[in-house]
Amino acid sequence: MAAGSVVKRLASEYAGRPVVFLEYFANASVGDRQSRFDAAWGPNGYAVPMVMLSSGHSVTQGTQDFYTKYKAMIEAELPRPAVVELEAWQQQVGTVMRVWASLRNTAAFHLDAGNQATVWAIMWDQGTTGVTGMYVRAAKKVAVSPGIPPGGQAGFTFDLAMPTGIDPSKLRTIALAEYRPAGASGPFDMLQAVRPLSPSLTLSPSSLQLSLPQGTGMAEVRLAGPPGLEWSAVSHVPWLEVTPSQGPLATPARVRVLLAPLQEGAQQGSITFTATSPDGLSLAAELPVTVTLDDSATVRELPGVASLAGQNQTAWRSSLTLHNPVAEARPVLLEISARDTGAVVASRQLDLTAGEVRELADLYAELGAPSGAGCLRVTGDVLVWVRTFNLGEAGTFGQDVVSSREGEIGAGEEMLFPISTARNTASGFRSNLLLLNRESVPITVHLTVGAVSLDVPVPARTYVQLTNVGHELGLPAGTSVLRVRADGRWCGSVSTVDPTTGDPTTVRGQRPPE
């Protein structure tokens, strides 16, 4: 009785600290917990009262200065680190308390039958029975079999019968893992012990903040909860994708930003993860996601891509080369819009790994776009090169396509282009002028050569091409300098075509000196 009063005193002193005091009937404890006392004291028996810590790592027996001895044992035990990672959850199911435990082996050795590794669930009632008021009512153990290697993980489930006539609010549980350091003999030692929590599904990280162009637009989310759960995910916004969309608890989820539905600036969405188990457990967790897109920094337009039939059984095609020069993955969205309407006719998102070079030899075929001429819109912070070429029996000839990032001109700014005018395109060089409207409203582009001028309307976010632009202006055959300005943002280039080969050459404009 004296030892019991000391244990109660110590339980009060250590309240709120990682110490649990339990009382067993040593000769026939529920769940055979007395076997750990037997292992600690050996075959010669023991004298009451007897105390063991950590499944038998530290023991004492008989009459002594109980308070001084027990307190010294506890203080010596507290600094010892956990050997494994143990998590536990509990929930009343009818007349039983179900306890789930998940053990990750962070030790440098296997846990298996060789060292008698065991996981326990123990229930006691607090303050109602026994000498100390912490009397164990139920205990179950499961041997770790076939074993858990270093770094491995396993789950365990226990059903502890709830005693009748005891207020359920007085019942407490604990889960613990232990092993026998010496193998087949000697005392046991505890690897870790935890108090079970209410079942929950936890996500790591618990929220995502992604920013583009800096950042990958992708993230991995790990799920944790009671063993045996299978999860599924539902995105609540069109710009988030989860792969896989379901799987066992140990399978992480990969969250991917779909660039196509995004708007410039910050937007918020969420993903709901739901997890269920065969024993009827159902849990859910919400993942908030914030994505910030700097549209001006990540979007460029490249007018002049095509998949068309050319003259003399040739074919116009466009190829694309992408390069991610940074040391992290980057998403890239490719969209082809029709030349005359600006409507998107095909799109595809790619994920470029760090340092990756990706080539699409036939842009329209790779994106599944219908034949025609159009503008390629690229969203993503990567390097882009596009070549539009004429493919014939003798090979290919073509030109690079000027990107809006490199060639955008502000409203009112003037650019000068050398152009060639041909009265007979079969024998003279001719220049074609390509104009892309970078605004979301129509603009007017003003063309001037000397006293001759022409206004060209360009619909919002589309481009137009003036074939043999000098002829459109009524210029004489030969070379002239074309002045171009607009009442909105635009970009453009000139293609000068060889009359003999049909080979186009890209001619970029220059700003006049101030």
Are the C-beta atoms of residues 494 and 436 closer than 8 Å to each other? no
The domain spanning residue 170 has which CATH number?
2.60.40.10
What is the reported pLDDT for 292? 86
Q: Which is more confident, 142 or 261?
A: 142
pLDDT at 108 over 90: yes
Is 85 found in the same domain as 213? no
- Cα–Cα nearest to 179, from 190, 164, 166: 190
CA distance 239 to 244: 16
Which range scores top for mean pLDDT: 116-130, 190-204, 331-345?
190-204
Q: Which of 174, 197, 220 is the last residue of a domain?
A: 197
Q: Which of 369, 400, 431 is the last residue of a domain?
A: 400
Is 19 found in the same domain as 131? yes
CA distance 307 to 58: 81
The per-residue pLDDT for range 297-306, each reduced to its tens digit, is 567 889 889 9
Q: Quick check: bond before 196 cis, omega within 30?
A: no
Domain span holding position 262 = 202-293
- Cα–Cα nearest to 36, from 183, 180, 192: 180
The per-residue pLDDT for range 447-457, each reduced to its tens digit, is 999 999 999 99
Token digits of residue 109 = 């050795």
CA distance 432 to 473: 12
Is 371 found in the same domain as 489? no
For range 167-178, the mean pLDDT = 94
CA distance 11 to 450: 99
CA triplet 414, 419, 423: central angle to 5 degrees?
A: 140
Q: Which of 293, 310, 333 is the last residue of a domain?
A: 293
The domain spanning residue 228 has which CATH number?
2.60.40.1080
Are the C-beta atoms of residues 118 and 141 closer than 8 Å to each other? yes
- Measuring CA to CA, how many Å separate 266 from each of 178, 258, 269, 289? 50, 14, 10, 10
The domain spanning residue 363 has which CATH number?
2.60.290.11
pLDDT grade for 130, boundaries at 50, 70 and 90: confident
Query: Is there a domain that residue 153 lies in?
Result: yes
Q: Which letter does DSSP use for residue 23 in this model?
A: B
The per-residue pLDDT for range 387-427, each reduced to its tens digit, is 998 887 766 778 888 887 777 899 999 999 999 998 888 88
Query: Is there a domain that residue 514 lies in?
Result: no
Query: Is there a domain that residue 513 lies in?
Result: no
Is 117 found in the same domain as 101? yes
Is 288 found in the same domain as 300? no
Is 441 found in the same domain as 338? no
Query: Is there a domain that residue 494 lies in?
Result: yes
Is 168 found in the same domain as 94? yes
Q: 332: Cβ–Cβ under 8 A, 6 or more apart, which residues?
A: 259, 322, 349, 350, 351, 352, 378, 379, 380, 382
Query: Is there a domain that residue 19 lies in?
Result: yes
Domain count, the chain: 4
For range 111-125, the mean pLDDT = 96
Are the C-beta atoms of residues 480 and 470 closer than 8 Å to each other? yes
Is 193 found in the same domain as 233? no
The per-residue pLDDT for range 41-71, each reduced to its tens digit, is 876 667 778 899 999 999 998 888 999 999 9
pTM of the predicted structure, to 2 decimals: 0.65
Is 415 found in the same domain as 395? no
Is 304 found in the same domain as 271? no
Is 233 found in the same domain as 358? no
